[in-house]
Structure 1
Amino acid sequence: MNQLNNVISLRFYNERYRSEIERFYLDGEQHQFTALPAEALQVCETDHERYPVMIMDGCTPAGFFVLHEKEGVKQYSKNQDSILLRAYSINTPHQGKGIAKASIKLLPSFIKENFPDKNEIVLAVNHSNHAAQHVYKACGFEDRGNRVMGKKGEQFILYMDL
């Protein structure tokens, strides 16, 4: 693991980072595949089965995602002990530094520590989002052939056993 990866951490969202989270942006077509963190936070405020998580590069929020349990997982997995990874993004200025891979590799231990009853992570990734598919698969997610239709077309459902 390179030195940069040693400073990457996952932390539940804290309100003191709201202004930084609201300034996140995604270049090009990336925003069509995921919600911006500020958008995802709004949903989390009313849905108590969603847990916003920041990807920290040292003391700086570099990325964001939501862990969604119970009702959120049902469309993607029959396993009641699954948790859904959604709204995953790395802020554009922090892309290309290995933060995505480092954060996804931290995800299993983060979930085991904070959601000890979970034994699987599931996510949906757009069939056209090849970069995200590559990162998820390189970090241990498996394509078991399940598909759903999403707002932007076919979604591949990927799984990681914990």
Structure 2
Amino acid sequence: MITRLHTSPEVKLAFYRSEHLASLKQFKLPKEQEKFTALPVEMLEVVTEGQYLVVIEHDSDAVGFFMLHATKRVKQYTDNSHAMLLTALSIDHAQQGRGFAKRGMKQLSAFVKEHFPSCNEIVLAVNHRNTAAQQLYLNVGFEDSGRRKEGPLGEQWIMSYLITSE
């Protein structure tokens, strides 16, 4: 009997590159998720200075996407001048349920330390009805800050992840 070693395909975070475009254009989300986030192609059209497009890659294929902000918008979520805002996290519907969001978010701290060394906190807003996203963020180390913000679909919880220098 031949036994094979189980190898897990690599999941990593990378800045958006033009070769990701074809995959990102194919992203689809279920209707219940569309109301809580934006598709990557929508974000590609509005990126401005201080916004960084990040792709969750699985063996170099784009399976997920989010944006990091180092803009004045961050002040709506925290008083920390060294914080960044995370928005528009999505995983292509065909790739959901495979742990890509969790594995990508677990790499967020190291990614931010490497590329944004002055950043010591990531903040985000999650809709109070988006329990799946809340659980994801809690499972990877985000904490409910107790702050609330009114969003287009009702109350949003402001969550925070402190980046330590360890």
* Shared fold, TM over 0.5: yes
Bigger helix share? 1
Partner of 2:73: 72
Residue ranges of structure 2 left out of the alignment (5+ in a row)? 1-5
Partner of 1:54: 55
- Does 1:147 find its partner at 2:124? no
Give the counterpart of 1:28 among 5, 15, 31: 31
Q: Secondary structure at 1:74's aligned position in 2? A: helix
After TM superposition, the score normalised by the length of structure 1 is: 0.94
What amino acid is aligned across from residue 24 of structure 1 in structure 2? F
Number of positions where the alignment pairs a residue of Structure 1 with one of Structure 2: 158
Runs of 4+, deviation exceeding 3 Å: none
CA RMSD in angstroms, aligned pairs only: 1.2
How many Å separate the matches in 2 of 1:87 and 1:116?
A: 22
CA deviation string 1:42-83 (max 9, x = no partner): 111xx1111001000112100000000131211000001000
**1:1-162 equivalent positions in 2, closer than 5 A:** 3-4=7-8, 7-44=10-47, 47-162=48-163
Larger Rg: 2
Cα offset, 1:28, TM superposition: 2.7
After TM superposition, the score normalised by the length of structure 2 is: 0.92
Q: Is the 2:51–2:71 Cα contact (8 Å) retained in structure 1?
A: no
Q: Is the 1:70–1:80 Cα contact (8 Å) retained in structure 2?
A: no
Q: Secondary structure at 1:61's aligned position in 2? A: strand
How many Å separate the matches in 2 of 1:54 and 1:8?
A: 10
How many Å separate the matches in 2 of 1:72 and 1:111?
A: 18
Residue ranges of structure 1 left out of the alignment (5+ in a row)? none
Q: Secondary structure at 1:54's aligned position in 2? A: strand
Q: Secondary structure at 2:45's aligned position in 1? A: helix
Identity rate of aligned residues, in percent? 44
